[in-house]
């Protein structure tokens, strides 16, 4: 009977068992709340509200919506979306402390839906950037922005999927996009998606209006690379292969057999007609491991290598096709 008493004592829903479960649930909830509030407090210092004005047919400035952004450098560079800034004639940038500055469009890249503004401000708090290669499905994702003008709104969820592709206004696919169920609404565009450490892992860019929990962010590695190019030259010049691709892991045994040291590579999902990739003989299912001797650990890495210097050069690609390791030569074109 004593043993039966002990078993009965542990039955969920009993007075003490139910209390223990409730205590555990409260403890878990409190831990989750502490993480989210801590992340929001740290990351919000870098988030800005952007108001955009465009000229009408008579040349007069009219409010034309806005969005969000975050401080990239302490001397006033702000990352946001191209679709937020595009066509703007005047930008007002408001920081967390209520200060408002006039923004200047330094440059934009429609192919990745990213833009860079500059404000004349000092001692700004730049966002801490994470590494999109370290993101895992299921990890915490917190979005901060200004949906419908409600400043510094925080929503939380998880990273739902990686390696998504969405189409930019230019018609080109944005690769390696992060999918999250953290709620995004008009006005969140350009704001940061951050992890549990308060590091930016993505730039919030889109949501599917007819669905729930289908929201997307451009990976921070892509955003950092594009922002650097916009600071240097105001535009992003790049080469073009003509493939649709995503980051994918290399099967361990296959990597060991061919002495491939990288864990991830680029999986070809599609090859465009009459493109350099088709001319070179690339196929759907090929896994690109090296580009001109450089290891390619994902789509972000491939984007960096496909700069203007790669155009019109014969590039040696190393790739896996099934179990075979092959070399293919391709001549990228200037996009």
- For residue 284, give the CATH number of its domain: 2.30.42.10
Look at residue 124 and tell me if it is in a domain: no
Helix (H) or strand (E) holding 15, with range, is: helix 15-43
Burial track 107-136 (b if 16+ CB lie within 10 A, e otherwise)? bbbbbbbbbbbbbebeebbbbebbebbebe
Q: pLDDT tens track of the chain, all 335 residues? A: 444 343 333 434 444 556 677 776 666 668 888 889 889 999 999 999 999 999 988 888 998 889 999 999 999 999 999 999 999 999 999 998 889 999 999 999 998 999 999 999 988 999 999 998 899 999 999 999 988 878 889 999 999 999 888 888 876 778 889 999 998 888 899 999 999 999 999 999 988 877 777 899 999 999 999 999 999 988 888 898 999 998 899 998 999 999 998 899 999 999 999 999 999 999 999 999 999 999 999 887 898 899 888 999 999 999 999 999 999 999 999 87
Listed residues 191, 213, 233: the one ending a domain: 233
What CATH number has the domain bearing residue 168?
2.40.10.10
CA distances, 107 to each of 15, 77, 190, 318 (Å):
63, 11, 14, 34
Listed residues 233, 255, 270: the one ending a domain: 233
Q: 74: number of CA atoms within 13 Å, CB side?
A: 4
Q: Which pLDDT does position 300 carry in this prediction?
A: 79
Give yes or no: residues 186 and 229 share one domain: yes
Give yes or no: residues 277 and 262 share one domain: yes
Domains identified in the chain, total number: 4
Look at residue 126 and tell me if it is in a domain: no
Q: How far apart are CA 300 and CA 320, in angstroms?
A: 19
Residue that is written with structure tokens 């759907």 in the block: 284
Give yes or no: residues 206 and 169 share one domain: yes
Q: Which pLDDT does position 32 carry in this prediction?
A: 83
Give yes or no: residues 27 and 75 share one domain: no
Which residue, 107, 132, 106, is CA-closest to 247? 132
Look at residue 127 and tell me if it is in a domain: no
> Which positions ≥6 away from 166 have C-beta within 8 Å?
173, 174, 177, 205, 206, 216
Give yes or no: residues 137 and 227 share one domain: yes
Lookup: tokens for 44: 């919000």
Give yes or no: residues 285 and 301 share one domain: yes
Look at residue 108 and tell me if it is in a domain: yes
Give yes or no: residues 255 and 327 share one domain: yes
- Compute the CA torsion angle 108, 109, 110, 113 (nearest 10 deg): -90
Q: What is the DSSP letter of 217?
A: E
Look at residue 84 and tell me if it is in a domain: yes
Look at residue 155 and tell me if it is in a domain: yes
Give yes or no: residues 96 and 179 share one domain: no
Write phi, then psi, for 230 (nearest 5 degrees): -65, -35
Listed residues 197, 214, 233: the one ending a domain: 233
Q: Which residues are catalytic?
A: 83, 113, 189
Q: Which pLDDT does position 25 carry in this prediction?
A: 66
Give yes or no: residues 250 and 221 share one domain: no
Look at residue 189 and tell me if it is in a domain: yes
Owning domain of residue 289: 239-334
> What's the pLDDT tens digit per position in 153-180?
999 999 999 988 888 887 677 888 999 9
Which residue, 332, 177, 323, 325, is CA-closest to 246? 177
Give yes or no: residues 249 and 321 share one domain: yes
Give yes or no: residues 84 and 138 share one domain: no
Q: Which pLDDT does position 2 carry in this prediction?
A: 42
Q: Which pLDDT does position 105 carry in this prediction?
A: 96
Q: How far apart are CA 167 and CA 238, in angstroms?
A: 17
Give yes or no: residues 36 and 101 share one domain: no
Look at residue 54 and tell me if it is in a domain: yes
pTM score: 0.71
């Amino acid at each position: 009977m004593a043993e039966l008493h002990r078993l009965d004592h542990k039955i969920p829903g009993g007075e003490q068992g139910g209390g223990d479960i409730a205590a555990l649930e409260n403890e878990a909830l409190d831990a989750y709340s502490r993480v989210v509030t801590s992340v929001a407090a740290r990351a919000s210092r870098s988030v800005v509200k952007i108001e955009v004005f465009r000229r009408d047919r008579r040349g007069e400035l009219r409010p034309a919506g806005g969005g969000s952004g975050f401080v990239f450098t302490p001397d006033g560079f702000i990352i946001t979306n191209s679709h937020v800034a595009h066509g703007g004639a005047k930008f007002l940038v408001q920081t967390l402390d209520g200060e408002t500055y006039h923004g200047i469009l330094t440059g934009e890249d429609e192919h990745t839906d990213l833009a860079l503004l500059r404000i004349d401000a000092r001692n700004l708090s730049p966002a801490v950037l994470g590494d999109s290669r370290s993101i895992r499905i299921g990890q915490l994702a917190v979005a901060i922005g200004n949906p419908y003008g409600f400043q510094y709104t925080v929503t939380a969820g998880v990273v739902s999927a990686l390696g998504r592709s969405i189409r930019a206004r230019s018609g080109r696919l944005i690769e390696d996009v992060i999918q999250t169920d953290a709620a995004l609404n008009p006005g969140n565009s350009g704001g940061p998606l951050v992890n549990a450490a308060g590091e930016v892992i993505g730039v919030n860019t889109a949501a599917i209006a007819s669905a729930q929990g289908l929201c997307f962010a451009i990976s921070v590695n892509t955003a950092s690379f594009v922002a650097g190019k916009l600071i240097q030259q105001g535009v992003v010049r790049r080469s073009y292969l003509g493939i649709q691709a995503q980051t994918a892991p290399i099967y361990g045994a296959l990597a060991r057999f061919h002495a491939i040291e990288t864990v991830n590579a680029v999986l070809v999902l599609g090859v465009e007609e009459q493109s350099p990739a088709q001319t070179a003989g690339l196929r759907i299912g090929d896994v690109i491991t090296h580009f001109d001797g450089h290891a390619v650990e994902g789509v972000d890495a491939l984007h960096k290598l496909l700069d203007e210097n790669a155009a019109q050069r014969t590039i040696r690609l190393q790739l896996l096709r099934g179990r075979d390791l092959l070399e293919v030569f391709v001549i990228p074109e200037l996009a």
